[in-house]
Amino acid sequence: MADITIRGAGIFGLSIAWACIQRGAHVTVIDPNGPGAGSSGGVVGALAPHVPENWNPKKAFQLDSLLMADRFWTGVEEVGGIPSGYARSGRLQPIPDMKGLDLARQRAISSAALWGKHATWSVNQADDAPWAPLSPTGWLIRDTLSAHLHPRSACTALVSALSAKGVTIQSNGPDAGAVIWATGTAGLEALNRQHHRMVGNGVKGQAAVLQFDAGAAPQIFADGVHVIPHSDGTVAVGSTSERDYEDPGTTDAQLDGVIERARAAVPVLKDAAVIHRWAGVRPRARSRAPMLGHWPDRPGHFVANGGFKIGFGMAPKIAEVMADLILEDRNQIPDGFEVKASF
């Protein structure tokens, strides 16, 4: 039985632990701050695909991961008994102008070739349904690939499933066997210090939760804002992307602007009360892709980091390829995701 030590109990660390434990590994997860303590404890949880054009390995990897998500989260929920909030309910996007309408129709064609029968990207006339976003052109994009989950619930579901398999999250402990560093922004900062250059950095995000029950409605992306209806009768809206900030944990007028844009785009939210405001720092690798694989110059050590904005959507596939690499010495990681791509 292989020993695996995972440092970091965010979405990458917990997902990799889940993949490894199912293959018979002995896994220890260590995080002094507890599970989901960093950006994985956010509130939005949009699992949204890249646009179906200019195809590349990153988009193909994400497509695979999004298609794996239902099976992944169903398995987690069945073992742990805790809901993740996962739902593949699609996404609506208002089309702002005629140029955007032409582009959306071209993407509808390319999606058939790139997504195949797995999902659709269609252009439809807007209607007056309560949940429909306002559209300046009267047209909306609807895709059936987008999904969402509740980040905190998803982390709790993984912790419960791991616990059912005998794995608990420890606050400290020694390394044993292969060591995976899934330590988010702190891990990127450590790599920066070691290599004396910018390997990655933290980007602050702010989001809010509104009291509104939209049921099983699709998520909305409008005016740069994600609007996510969660199964607990709330709607999350977010988020900002701040390279420069003074306090990583406070919210300010930038979040007020996000809430105003969400309400303007989705009028049914006009009077929905704000019940929670959140801020956190998300890890972004220099390559802007997830950073995965061997840690150069540290035999037996591996990195899984850089999930900026797409971490939850990429997690099922990342867990699979990291387990492939560590347990079977089979490298399925795209070149652009390798750790060296950010060095």
- Number of Cβ within 10 Å of residue 269's Cβ equals 20
What gap in Å lies between CA 131 and CA 129, rounded to an integer? 6
Q: Nearest 5°: phi and psi at 186?
A: -60, -35
What gap in Å lies between CA 29 and CA 40, rounded to an integer? 15
What gap in Å lies between CA 221 and CA 288, rounded to an integer? 21
**pLDDT tens digit at each of 343 positions of the chain:** 679 999 999 999 999 999 999 999 999 999 999 999 999 999 999 999 999 999 999 999 999 999 999 999 999 999 999 999 999 999 999 999 999 999 999 999 999 999 999 999 999 999 888 899 999 999 999 999 999 999 999 999 999 999 999 999 999 999 999 999 999 999 999 889 887 778 899 999 999 999 999 999 999 999 999 999 999 999 999 999 999 999 999 999 999 999 999 999 999 999 999 999 999 999 999 988 999 999 988 999 999 999 999 999 999 999 999 999 999 999 999 999 999 888 8
Burial 133-156 (b: 16+ CB within 10 A, else e): bebebebbbbbbbbbbbbbbbbbb
What gap in Å lies between CA 153 and CA 87, rounded to an integer? 13
In the block, which residue shows the tokens 């949880």?
45
In the block, which residue shows the tokens 């850089």?
306
Identify whether the C-beta of residue 95 lies closer than 8 Å to the C-beta of residue 101.
yes
What gap in Å lies between CA 320 and CA 309, rounded to an integer? 19
How many residues belong to the chain? 343
**pTM reported for the whole predicted model:** 0.96
What gap in Å lies between CA 213 and CA 235, rounded to an integer? 7
- Position 1 scores a pLDDT of 66
Secondary structure of the chain in HEC code, one letter for each residue: CCEEEEECCCHHHHHHHHHHHHCCCEEEEECCCCCCCCHHHCCCCEECCCCCCCCCHHHHHHHHHHHHHHHHHHHHHHHHCCCCCCECCCEEEECCCHHHHHHHHHHHHHHHHHCCCCCCEEEEECCCCCCCCCCCCCEEEEECCCEECCHHHHHHHHHHHHHHCCCCEECCCCCCCEEEECCHHHHHHHHHHHHCCCCEEEEEEEEEEEECCCCCCCEEEECCEEEEECCCCEEEEECCCECCCCCCCCCCHHHHHHHHHHHHHCHHHCCCCEEEEEEEEEEEECCCCCEEEECCCCCCEEEEECCCCCHHHHHHHHHHHHHHHHHHCCCCCCHHHEHHHHC
